[in-house]
């Protein structure tokens, strides 16, 4: 097949279709045997779905050691994304981020990263014992959002920690903010450091020339891609991309430490089909998304009080570029936190947005959205403003709280600990996570000192309805602290 690999092919899909035509009698797992053993599941998910929920076999290759159709699908993905190698990931972008970090650093190594990383990056440090060097993100004090990494601050971190092994960049952030990735890559490489990009929200950058530069085009060594977000594949399916100077064989060994040996062919085929769709039609798909979001922004900004922001935020540094497919909306002038608008949209208008924080709302617009859906969202936002608007003067402004890192994440997580009522923890060192999910950026991470300011923020976020996750005590009434 190798000589005939073109972007209109989908090797995993084709192999599954050949398997179905073979009418194999299954004496292997999964035990539902094409759904016959679980009629209720077959009724719910459908015959076509369960017919291809199969185990690895010779004709379908093996995700742990791909030598045929999965290898070919990964080759096509690497070509489509401009990477030297692509790995299909069935544990979500969490597994891709962790594989990047575990490849780049080991016990005691330093890694430069922004503090507003996804929890998966800090979890990787718990696993490998590396130590973070945080570049504290700039804040937009009006919007209350973290911005990108300033080049000067990355340069300063490299100067202070010349022995760091890698730099990790969020690009773009959940809100659409992009850093000067090319310059950060140049700086890091000049000092012998790898660059890892958490590109969970940037799949579309690879397929449209109106969008910010992609990590691979900027020269990053590795990038984690959430195909299931803007790429259209099934939830939990992602990719890990590698540049030419990365030992792909070693990366594969690292992936196999934590990734399942029973890769789902539903997820794998969705990656294969979605890659083909984006490679063939990505430019027009994301042209349409950009137009939809631009229209939505104009309509929302005409309502009053709301502010749907875009490229006007660009300042050439901490906001080097902006992802115009992101419909991020500042809600605080209405007197409502983003999470309150999020709850009202879901409970009163049957509209499910991506997330709300204490000042912003994110509506995720992608290939599957229609103009009439945008109209419904705009009408609901206008009605919420009319019916629920309040005085905004007493609302808490979102500020970046610079953490005091007392221990590395691994040391704190595995340290002897005690459980205290949360209100009694000020001054102690946290040994677990506290975060609002989504977006899954920790308010507290293992090894950081708990302060009155942080506790005030947690109380306020809970009161406004943010979904707090992380601690062992799921009621968030108690926290584990280092003894």
Cα–Cα distance between 328 and 247 in angstroms, integer?
Answer: 38
Quote the pLDDT of residue 50: 94
Quote the pLDDT of residue 1: 45
Quote the pLDDT of residue 358: 87
Position 2 pLDDT exceeds 60: no
**Ranges 17-26, 302-311, 350-359, 464-473, most confident:** 302-311
Q: C-alpha distances in angstroms, 380 versus 292, 330, 332, 346, 377?
A: 17, 15, 17, 10, 5
Please list, in sequence order, all residues whose beta carbon lies within 8 angstroms of the beta carbon of residue 307, skipping any fewer than 6 positions away: 143, 301, 329, 330, 333
Quote the pLDDT of residue 306: 98
Global pTM value: 0.94
Cα–Cα distance between 63 and 153 in angstroms, integer?
Answer: 40
Quote the pLDDT of residue 23: 86
* The two structure tokens encoding residue 195: 């660059």
Angle in degrees, CA 395, 116, 270, rounded to 5? 110
Between helix 338-349 and helix 452-464 the angle, nearest 10°, is 20
β-bridge mates for residue 239, sequence order: 88, 225
Cα–Cα distance between 302 and 210 in angstroms, integer?
Answer: 25
Q: Average pLDDT in the 234-248 region?
A: 98
Position 27 pLDDT exceeds 80: yes
* The two structure tokens encoding residue 370: 């229609």
Mean pLDDT over each residue of the chain, to the nearest integer: 94
pLDDT tens profile 360-393: 999 999 888 999 999 999 999 999 999 999 988 8
CB 434 within 8 A of CB 475: no
Residue of 446, 473, 374 lying closest to 125 (CA atoms): 446
Cα–Cα distance between 444 and 468 in angstroms, integer?
Answer: 11
Residue of 326, 313, 482, 327 lying closest to 406 (CA atoms): 482
For CA atoms 100, 103, 107, 112, give the dihedral sign. negative
Give the pLDDT band of residue 46 (cuts 50, 70, 90). very high
In percent, how much of the chain has pLDDT > 70?
99
Quote the pLDDT of residue 3: 57
Top-confidence residue, 9 or 357:
9
Cα–Cα distance between 88 and 414 in angstroms, integer?
Answer: 31
* The two structure tokens encoding residue 186: 């140049």
Q: Average pLDDT in the 335-347 region?
A: 96
pLDDT tens profile 264-278: 999 999 999 999 999
Q: Average pLDDT in the 54-68 region?
A: 95
Cα–Cα distance between 430 and 441 in angstroms, integer?
Answer: 16
Q: C-alpha distances in angstroms, 242 versus 70, 219, 420?
A: 17, 10, 44
Cα–Cα distance between 453 and 431 in angstroms, integer?
Answer: 18
Quote the pLDDT of residue 131: 95
> To 10 degrees, the CA torsion angle through 256, 261, 267, 272?
60
Cα–Cα distance between 97 and 83 in angstroms, integer?
Answer: 16
Quote the pLDDT of residue 399: 65
β-bridge mates for residue 89, sequence order: 238
For CA atoms 98, 103, 106, 111, give the dihedral sign. negative
Residue of 408, 449, 399 lying closest to 426 (CA atoms): 449
Position 397 pLDDT exceeds 80: no
Cα–Cα distance between 212 and 135 in angstroms, integer?
Answer: 22
Residue of 114, 101, 110 lying closest to 151 (CA atoms): 114
Q: Considering only CA atoms, give the Rg of the chain.
A: 23
pLDDT tens profile 399-447: 667 889 999 999 999 999 999 999 999 999 999 999 887 677 888 999 9
**Pick from 103-112, 163-172, 319-328, 462-471: least confident:** 462-471
Residue-range domains of the chain with CATH: 62-263 (3.40.640.10), 283-388 (3.90.1150.10), 409-482 (3.90.100.10)
């Amino acid at each position: 097949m190798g000589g005939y690999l073109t972007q209109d092919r989908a090797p995993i899909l084709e192999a599954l279709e050949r398997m179905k035509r073979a009418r194999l009698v299954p004496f292997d797992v999964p035990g539902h045997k094409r759904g016959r053993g679980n009629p209720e599941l077959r009724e719910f998910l459908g015959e076509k779905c369960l017919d291809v929920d199969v185990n690895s076999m010779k004709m379908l290759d093996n995700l742990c050691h791909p030598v045929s159709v999965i290898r070919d699908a990964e080759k096509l993905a690497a070509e489509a994304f401009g990477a030297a190698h692509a790995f299909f990931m069935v544990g979500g972008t969490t597994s891709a981020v962790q594989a990047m970090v575990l490849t780049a650093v080991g016990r005691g190594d330093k890694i430069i990263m922004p503090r507003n990383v996804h929890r998966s990056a800090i979890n990787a440090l718990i696993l490998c014992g590396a130590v973070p060097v945080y570049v504290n993100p700039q804040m937009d004090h009006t919007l209350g959002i973290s911005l990108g990494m300033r080049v000067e601050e990355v340069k300063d971190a490299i100067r202070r920690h010349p022995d760091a092994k890698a730099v990790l960049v969020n690009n773009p952030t959940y809100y659409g903010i992009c850093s000067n990735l090319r310059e950060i890559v140049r700086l890091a490489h000049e000092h012998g450091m790898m660059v890892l990009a958490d590109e969970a929200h940037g799949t579309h950058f690879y397929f449209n020339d109106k969008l910010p530069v992609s990590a691979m085009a900027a020269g990053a060594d590795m990038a984690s891609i959430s195909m299931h977000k803007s790429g259209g594949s099934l939830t939990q399916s992602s990719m890990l991309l590698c540049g030419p100077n990365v030992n792909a064989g070693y990366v594969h060994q690292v992936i196999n430490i934590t990734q399942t040996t029973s890769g789902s062919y539903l997820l794998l085929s969705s990656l294969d089909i979605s890659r083909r769709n984006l490679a063939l039609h990505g430019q027009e798909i994301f042209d349409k998304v950009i137009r939809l979001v631009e229209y939505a922004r104009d309509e929302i900004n005409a309502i009053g009080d709301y502010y749907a922001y875009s490229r006007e935020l660009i300042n050439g540094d901490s906001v080097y570029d902006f992802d115009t497919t992101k419909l991020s909306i500042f809600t605080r002038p209405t007197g409502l936190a983003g999470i309150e608008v999020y709850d009202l949209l879901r409970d009163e208008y049957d509209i499910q947005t991506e997330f709300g924080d204490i000042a912003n709302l994110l509506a995720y617009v992608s290939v599957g959205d229609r103009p009439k859906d945008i109209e419904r969202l705009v009408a609901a936002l206008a009605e919420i403003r009319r019916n629920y608007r309040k005085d905004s003067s007493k609302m808490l402004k979102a500020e970046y709280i610079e953490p005091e890192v007392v221990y590395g994440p691994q040391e704190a997580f595995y340290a002897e600990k005690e459980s205290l009522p949360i209100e009694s923890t000020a001054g102690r060192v946290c040994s677990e996570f506290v975060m609002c999910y989504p977006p899954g950026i920790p308010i507290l991470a293992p090894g950081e000192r708990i302060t009155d300011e942080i506790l005030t923020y947690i109380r306020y976020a809970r009161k406004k309805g943010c979904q707090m996750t992380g601690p062992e005590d799921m009621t968030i009434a108690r926290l584990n602290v280092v003894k």
